[in-house]
Amino acid sequence: MCGIFWILPYIEKLNDRMVYEVGISLVVLLIILLILYPIASMLLVGESVRQIFALPVESFREPRLTTYLPSFS
């Protein structure tokens, strides 16, 4: 999105045919990004949740903090 907004001021310096081609390219790129970003986000969240079920039972146990914290007695 930032790249598209960075290119927009330079479009005025191009001729009409180039403006049309760059405009169409930016619209196509924007549509592709608007479709792919939510799909990719959903896949990442789905994979993260799915991998929770593959963890061993020991990973859900709480550690005994007394073995990790030093004793000052």
pTM value?
0.52
In a domain, 32, yes or no: yes
Number of domains forming the structure of the chain: 1
In a domain, 61, yes or no: no
- 10 pLDDT more than 80: no
Q: Which pLDDT value is given to residue 65?
A: 72
Mean of the pLDDT values across residues 50-72? 80
In a domain, 72, yes or no: no
Contact criterion met (CB below 8 Å) for 14 and 22 = yes
Looking at per-residue pLDDT, the higher value among 41 and 59 belongs to 41
Scanning the chain, the segments in alpha helix (DSSP H) are 2-11, 16-52
Q: Which pLDDT value is given to residue 25?
A: 82
In a domain, 68, yes or no: no
